[in-house]
């Protein structure tokens, strides 16, 4: 989940959720995974940890930029499907990804 998303991040996030739902996947399943695993009785002890990473250029470290680039790479891998959901062509989608990275440093 992206907290305080800019307009491009919101648009991309909504498109990913729409894509998942249209393929019968619950976009919020991540929160149910520990229970699903526990219900199998195949695991002795299940521990999970949520990590919050600020995105963008912050505190003069590369961690936030790297996180943004990783998310952009994931979105790039979904380009064929997401451009259809968004109704854009390849060039427009590439521009959205560039703006997504720029936006990440402005919406913290």
Q: Model confidence over 9-64: pLDDT tens digits?
A: 999 999 999 999 999 999 888 888 888 888 999 988 888 887 777 788 876 678 88
Spell out the domain ranges in the chain.
Answer: 7-23+53-104
pLDDT at position 82 is 98
Measured at the CA of 15, the angle between CA 10 and CA 21, to 5 degrees, comes to: 125
Q: Is 4 left (phi over 0), alpha (psi -120 to 50) or beta?
A: left
Cβ-proximal residues to 17 (8 Å cutoff; 6+ apart), any chain: 27
Look at residue 11 in the predicted model and tell me its pLDDT.
97
What's the average model confidence in pLDDT over 99-106?
88
The reported pTM is: 0.79
Q: Is the pLDDT of residue 108 over 70?
A: no
User: Six-digit token pair at 12?
Assistant: 């991309």
Helices (H) and strands (E) in the chain, counts: 5, 0
């Amino acid at each position: 989940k992206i907290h305080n998303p800019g307009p491009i991040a919101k648009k991309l996030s909504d498109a990913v959720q729409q894509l998942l739902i249209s393929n019968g996947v619950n976009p919020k399943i991540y929160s149910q995974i520990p229970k699903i695993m526990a219900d199998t009785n195949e695991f002795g002890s299940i521990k999970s940890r949520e990590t919050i990473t600020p995105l963008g250029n912050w505190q003069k470290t590369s961690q936030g930029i790297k996180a943004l680039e990783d998310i952009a790479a994931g979105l790039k891998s979904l380009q064929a499907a997401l451009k259809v959901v968004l109704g854009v062509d390849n060039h427009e989608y590439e521009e959205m990804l560039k703006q997504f990275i720029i936006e990440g440093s402005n919406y913290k």
